[in-house]
Structure 1
Amino acid sequence: MAAAPRPRRRPTVIVGSVDSSSSSDDEEELEDEEVEAASENGDEDRGKGQSGASLGKVSGKKLSSISISLKKVCKVCKENGHQAGFQGATYIDCPKKPCFLCKMPGHTTMSCPHRVALEHGVVPAPRRNKQTQLDYVFDRQLISQIQKIKPTFIIPDKLDRVVVKFHSRRITSLEFHPTRSSVLLSGDKKGQIGVWDYNKPNEKTIYGSIHSCIVNNMKFDRRNDFMLYTSSSDGTMSYTDLETGIGVLLMDVNPNGWNGPASWRMLYGMDTNLDKGLVLVADNFGYLYLFDIRERVKIGEPILIHRKGSKVVGLHFNPVHPDLLLSSGNDHFAHMWDIRRLESGSSLASLAHGRVVNSAYFSPHTGSKIMTTSQDNRIRVWDSVFGNLISPSREIVHSHDFNRHLTPFRAEWDPKDPSESLAVIGRYISENYNGVALHPIDFIDTSTGHLVAEVIDPDLTTISPVNKLHPRDDILATGSSRSLCIWRPGLEGEEKETERKKEFIFWSADGLGNLHKSAYNLRKIKSDLHGNYRDRRNNHR
């Protein structure tokens, strides 16, 4: 899906560093090294012990370097004689495995029909002949009279501003402030929470004392929009004042501390239900915890909502029917619950998937649709939560399966789209754009499966698994490794855009988390922009 070249303005680039220690991600993201030994001095030393004739032949001649080639070992099947992975921008399949994109045998990833056109992956709903009389009347008489609202999608496709290495570890979550439109919050693998006003690049703050491990979820308190609920892999849920950075510990599911990985509980999925005065969080053992935000107490005992021992990665309340809850987990299921009757095995519906379910969301306005993202490279859509949920209305094949140190990809609805059809998700498999391997961010019409737009920029060669659309403005925020990016819509019909100079700023942090401006090396900036994910291209499964 190559894109035609188009004129671009240069984005503002801001380079940041929040601590001086080297990142573990840098170690995780090193390229496979080629072993090469140039040993002229060693050869000369060995030559001294040889005969004079041999020395005469060597004298005055420059010895050539010795190259050691490694044995070809496939990192997918671990066998010799072939290799699999990226060769530049081209993905080479393992001959003993099915297509990496659609998981079906008989063709390669490069010739996969779902790669040629995304809508080829749309599977119509396999209707079972179990419709009720009301279903029949609706399909026959009413559905044709309902006008579908199909607005023109405005896509933020121009990279406007970049903060390189704003975090010290990879970004794991993003959230826009509900009332201050230009304020973006970000959480990272180290447990830090960043606050950035992207219209005022100097206004950036990092809070590093709230959590000690991955920030998995952030939710604003609608009653007080500068208070934030967060859940973390350190097993805690906090309530933080963003003006002071002071957090209140609401829940700790490991009160006895570390007793080994077998018993350590991590909090992943989280959502708030302020109509009911609840915050719900779920852990890596399949349990759900209820917290009363008015009394500041945990309610009852944990409830097993997914297979015991499986991770519950996502929770989402229905925006219209607050009693409905969606959960997604590593047991290959998404479940819908009624929180008025919340107990193990009492789910209203169980949505089966082929692999791990990264996320499950109700549609943002009516709450009538469900969209899930699964590691089997499928985005699934159900058009009605009150209809037949045995099988999805559509399955869209999309590249988001991975096996490296990345935050999981999640397809998210556009909160501004009244038709509840536009979704955004990062792409894993790269494409060749004018000789450069780029990983686009895809905008997909979930009602048809059509690829509406693929957002790229030649300065951004990294993978963007974390994406968040602004709830009011036509702005996209992406988290790529440790960097933050802001995208805005390009002007239509522009033949030549005004080129804007990049602003190079280095941000160093003091002990209080305050950021200070200083000069920065241009060569290092280019290295940071282009080098984060050229690494470990062959380790994909």
Structure 2
Amino acid sequence: MKFCPTDLTRVYVASGEGTLTMQSFGGHTPTVLSRTQDCGHDHHNVCYWYCCVDVSVSRQMLVTGDNMGQLLLLGLDGQKIFSNKLHKAKVTHAEFNSRCDWLLATASVDHTVKLWDLRNIKDKKSYLHEMPHERAVNSAYFNPLDSSKLLTTDQYDEIRVYSSCDWSKPQHIIQHPHRQFQHLTPIKATWHPVYDLIVAGRYPDDRVFTGDQRTIDIYDSNTAELVCQLHDPTASGIKSINKFNPMGDVIGSGMGVTVLVWNRNESLISDRHAEQEDTSTSADSQRRQRRSQPRSNRDRRGPAMDAKLKRKLASLDECETKTKTKTKQKQAQMRKK
């Protein structure tokens, strides 16, 4: 699903029923913008379905991909602009670059992520860059801050960060357990809206590291270092979906039929690495607790890294308030002298 950027009461929905629709929270009848081809089978009529959707306001365009590798571009009114089989298998993700609106990223279970120039897109060979992966790929997100980085998540144990300075090779490859199986919602690493931070749910693999927990992990995309883990012993499921809110101080997590909301009153990074409890909303009307977990020696950071991350996670308002308070105290001391 994707909210309409110009009207937040509307949402674009790519459906497993083989339709792309615009739906309204105002109770209006859904508008069918596109429908996959009929497979012609007697016992069912859906062999093809849409797997993703994104919208570009500047281009007045929608993009979607289906389970057979077909990519479709259409106007906001549903008028078809382009359609071709650009991947060998399912298109799991398609996204416009918000800063460079002619740049499009697609990800597929064919083990590739590709970048396309919408001004010159013709066929499967007309891509700008191809980024081969070892496994099928779940997602490819441009960073919200300036769209100069691309974050990809495969279906096993790799999170990659690519940079616009050189799309041909990953800037970082993060080893992170999140293997895929049939009944698990695909795990997709996502961006912080302001800082170069990455959040992803962990699905531990005892074959790699025994005693691991089903945490929510936050990484610094510039260094590929693990900077924080969130864990609630009362929420033992796998948190497949994790997204920051627009302000970046709250994380929403999807865990089976439960929704968790992780909130904070202080920085996520603490000198004490101690338990910090905070009220947060959950789907069962009980707000969860969260704690920043101490990490093993392999994940500990030096004082310089701690200071850097604290500065990142502290809000501008808090910084300004502290500065003003210190200034007033110094002025008062000077007057006393």
By relative contact order (CA 8 Å, sep 6+), the higher-ranking structure is 1
Cα distance in structure 1, aligned partners of 2:47 and 2:75? 24
Matched with 1:285 is: 68
Note if contact 1:304-1:343 (Cα within 8 Å) is conserved in structure 2.
no
Shift of 1:370: 1.4
**CA shift in 2, pair 1:465/1:500, >3 Å:** closer
- TM-score by length of structure 2 reads 0.74
Report the CA distance between 1:273 and its aligned residue.
0.9
Unaligned runs of at least 5 residues, structure 1: 1-217, 507-524, 526-541
* C-alpha distance in 2 between matches for 1:503 and 1:273: 32
Of the three residues 225, 241, 246, the one matched with 1:450 is 225
TM superposition shift of 1:412: 0.7
1:271 aligns with 2:54: yes
Q: How big is the shift at 1:280?
A: 0.8
Residue 319 of structure 1 contacts residue 365 of structure 1 at CA under 8 Å; is this kept in 2? no
Q: Which residue of 1 aligns with 2:122?
A: 343
Q: How many residues align?
A: 277
In 2, Cα distance between equivalents of 1:245 and 1:333: 39
- Name the CA shift for 1:464/1:391 in 2 (closer, same or farther; >3 Å): same
- CA distance in 2 between counterparts of 1:502 and 1:379 reads 28
Q: Do the aligned residues in 2 keep the contact of 1:430 with 1:439 (CA within 8 Å)?
A: no
Q: How has the CA–CA distance of structure 1 residues 334 and 473 changed in structure 2, closer, same or farther, with 3 Å as cutoff?
A: closer
Give the equivalent residue in structure 1 for 2:10: 227
- 2:145 maps to which of 347, 358, 365: 365
Report deviation, 1:461. Answer: 0.4
SS in 2 for 1:485: strand
- Give the secondary-structure state (helix, strand or coil) at the position aligned to 1:468: strand
Corresponding residue of 1:401: 179
Partner of 1:253: 36
How many Å separate the matches in 1 of 2:105 and 2:176?
Answer: 22
After TM superposition, the structure 1 = structure 2 runs for residues 310-459 of structure 1, keeping only pairs within 5 Å, are 310-344=89-123, 345-384=125-164, 387-417=165-195, 421-429=196-204, 438-459=213-234
Question: Would you identify which runs of 4 or more consecutive aligned residues in structure 1 move more than 3 Å?
Answer: 254-263, 490-506
Highest CA radius of gyration, 1 or 2? 1
- Which residue in 2 is equivalent to 1:213? none
Provide the C-alpha distance between the structure 2 equivalents of 1:233 and 1:449, rounded to a whole number of angstroms: 35
CA displacement at 1:466 relative to structure 2: 0.9
Change (3 A) 1:390 1:448: same
The 1-side partners of 2:243 and 2:174 are apart by 20
* Superposition TM-score, scaled by structure 1 size: 0.47
Q: Does 1:304 align with 2:82?
A: no
Q: Is the 8 A contact 2:38 2:46 kept in 1?
A: no
Deviations 1:398-453 (A, max 9, x none): 01113241111111111121xxx20000000079xxxx984101001121111111
Single out whichever of 282-291 and 484-493 deviates more from structure 2. Answer: 484-493
Query: Which one-letter code corresponds to 1:333 in the other structure?
Result: T
Q: Is the 8 A contact 2:187 2:241 kept in 1?
A: yes
CA distance in 2, matches of 1:466, 1:414: 14
- Cα distance in structure 1, aligned partners of 2:221 and 2:109: 24
Q: Which is worse superposed, 240-249 or 279-288?
A: 240-249
Kindly tell me: are residues 323 and 296 of structure 1, through their superposed partners in 2, closer, same or farther at Cα, counting changes over 3 Å?
same
How far is 1:472 from its partner? Answer: 1.9
Distance 1:263 1:228 in 2: 23
Residue 239 (structure 1) aligns with: 22
Given residue 221 of structure 1, which amino acid in structure 2 is its aligned partner?
A: C
Distance apart, 1:498 and its partner CA: 8.3
1:354·1:376 contact (CA, 8 Å) conserved in 2?
A: no
* C-alpha separation in 2, matches of 1:442 and 1:279: 32
Distance 1:349 1:504, change over 3 A: closer
Query: Identity rate of aligned residues, in percent?
Result: 29
What's the CA shift string for 1:245-268, capped at 9, x where partnerless? 642221111457755689711101
Alignment partners' CA distance in 1, 2:66 and 2:57: 21
What is the CA distance between 1:383 and its match in structure 2? 2.1
